[in-house]
Amino acid sequence: MLTSKNVSGGVDLLHDPTLNKGTAFTEEERDKLALRGLLPPRIFTGEEQSKRILENFHNKTNDLEKYIYMVALQDRNETLFYRTVIDNIEEIMPIIYTPVVGKACQLFGHIWRRPRGLYLTINDKGCIADVLRNWPMKKVGIIVVTDGERILGLGDLGANGMGIPIGKLALYTVCAGVHPSLCLPITIDVGTNNEELLKDPLYIGLLRNRIRGDEYDELIDEVVWAVQDVFPGALIQFEDFSNFNAFRLLRKYQKKVCTFNDDIQGTASVTLAGIYSALRITDQKLTDQKILFQGAGEAGVGIANLIVSAMEAEGMSHDKAKRQCWLVDSKGLVVKSRENLQNHKLAYAHDHELVPDLLSAVETLKPTILVGVSGQPQTFTQPIVEAVGEINEQPVIFALSNPTSKAECTAEQAYSWTNGRAIFASGSPFKPVTLDGKTYIPGQGNNAYVFPGVGLGAIECGTKHVTDEMFFAAAKALANEVTEDDLVSGCIYPPLTQIRDVSAVIAAAVAGVAYERGLATVERPDNLLEYMKSRQYEPNYESYV
């Protein structure tokens, strides 16, 4: 327990965000902890403090200011930050994560106030473990790491990408109840090829172009193994790496350490869950679907891979299942005859004539499901959406590119161009749409439905690896949480307000796989779901006296 003995003076306590309660310190605590006089005399409850936070939050004139305000709160009073976000998740999550975090990353050097997380750079090569030891926490459960090369759909933001690991780890706590002290955000600065940033006098990263090749691989390898040494068993989530590195790093480390890539595997899981829900509305089978992807990168190929596993689980052969998935990239349909295709696209390069663009691909292939993961805004044009609408009674249209400005189409466009027949989900949130008196609630295929629960499950059972089977189990668990009432309004994901319960269910499913496959290192509790719930951090003030 905290006592005046292990805090050197009251002011230190007020400046420690993990312990600070601000105006909520009681009379007794103020006396015992040398706080008397350092705070205004009136004592407020956490609830009253939250009201003040929300009032200030609402008074901010734009979303970036709201982001800055919430980060500042996280930096001074963690408990109040998490309490306020959890109790107002639908309003605040889009501010601390996508879409607003995208803007925050673009301007990270300009809005920078206080450091959070660890910056590892190419200049630290050879002493990464020493830098990791500078982190004040001795026990770390989850690390989110980026090299900043593909931040959301915004491209190379270099060290500014730090906003992403910070935001994602906040969601581990908000959505799944992973204790904040177990979370470590890391940005690996290997330079940036973003010339605008390099010219920006307030850019916070190394002023050099990206390193590539062996030097890069050696640095990443040193980071991965130094983590095993300094924080044994910690889960490493790779985030927003370029697809060239993401696929290879996943292959390289997936079976060696406890790691996953959310852009590839988390996206796949949340999208598959959305598809399962959509099929409950259309009353169709997964194996009868033909899925066309606009975008053949981490998200597109990751989703296709998981759909193939899901179709195989329903009895379809691997090769047949692959032929149900088709990808379009910037050069048109991915087909066998195309030269110089990147490795990760090869599995979906089917025997087919060249098709130059998405509209022709829709007309030729007649997909039942259209998934946008290209980072290219407004590429689901009216003729394309109408064409999918002509092929299907209830077309499934997912415009997943983030942030909102990159979405392939808006919710309103999807509904109005199909006369309200589309089953729509996006990556960033869209408001409900009313057409001819009927209101449609767009689904948000937000990875936050999946990765926090996967992380909670992984660390609580101490799994040695995170497997694709776990993401399949997570997708099924998430889909099972969608009620008939949700589906009636067209919503294919559970309300965000239920996310903590949903994450506990996913955590139990993931841990279940770990126990079944002999990967868990912690003794199995009797009731996995109850155990996961009991492990969730609740941001409530503790008494210090």
> Catalytic amino acids?
97, 168
In the bound state, the residue with its beta carbon closest to ligand NAD is 297
Strands (E) in 352-430, as ranges, are 369-372, 396-399, 423-426
**Nearest Cα to 440, choosing from 456, 459, 460, 417?**
417
Contacts of 121 (CB under 8 A, 6+ apart): 188, 189, 190, 206
Minimum separation from the CB atom of position 327 to ligand NAD (A):
8
Let me know: does 269 contact 398? Beta carbons within 8 Å. Answer: no
- Shortest spacing between CB 152 and ligand NAD, in angstroms: 4
For ligand NAD, the closer CB: 124 or 156: 156
Quote the CA–CA distance of 47 and 43 in Å, as a whole number: 12
Taking the least distance from each CB to ligand NAD, the nearer of 178 and 334 is: 334
User: Rounded to an integer, what distance in angstroms lies between the CA atom of residue 79 and that of residue 538?
Assistant: 9
Quick check: helix, strand or coil at residue 55?
helix
- How far apart CA 496 and CA 93 sit, in angstroms, is 9
Planar angle of CA 442, 392, 423, nearest 5 degrees:
10
The C-alpha atoms of residue 491 and residue 189 are separated, in whole angstroms, by: 40
Q: Which residues bind ligand NAD (CB under 6 A)?
A: 150, 152-153, 243, 263, 267, 270, 294-300, 328-330, 373-376, 379, 400-402, 406, 427, 445-447
Query: Which CB, 151 or 316, lies closer to ligand NAD?
Result: 151
Count other Cβ atoms within 10 Å, centred on residue 345. 18
Amino acid in the structure at residue 12 = D
* Minimum distance, C-beta of residue 67 to ligand NAD, in the bound complex (Å): 18
Q: Are 108 and 157 in contact (CB under 8 A)?
A: yes
CB of 381 to ligand NAD, least distance (A): 12
Burial class of residue 364 in the structure, from the number of CB atoms within 10 Å of its CB (0-12 exposed, 13-18 middle, 19+ buried): middle
- Least gap, CB of 83 to ligand NAD (angstroms): 26
State the residue for tokens 């099929």. Answer: 279
Give the list of residues 6+ apart from residue 229 with CB closer than 8 angstroms, or none.
129
Nearer CB in complex with ligand NAD: 53/399: 399
Beta strands in 383-502 (DSSP E): 396-399, 423-426, 433-435, 438-440, 443-444
CB of 181 vs ligand NAD, minimal distance in Å: 27
Asked if residue 534 lies in contact with residue 482, where contact means CB atoms within 8 angstroms, the answer is no
Nearest to 409, CA basis, from 384, 436, 378: 378
CB of 271 to ligand NAD, least distance (A): 7
Please identify, using beta-carbon distances, which residue of 180 and 302 lies nearer to ligand NAD. 302
Which of 107, 384 has the CB closer to ligand NAD? 384
| Complex with ligand NAD: residue 451 or 541, whichever CB lies closer | 451
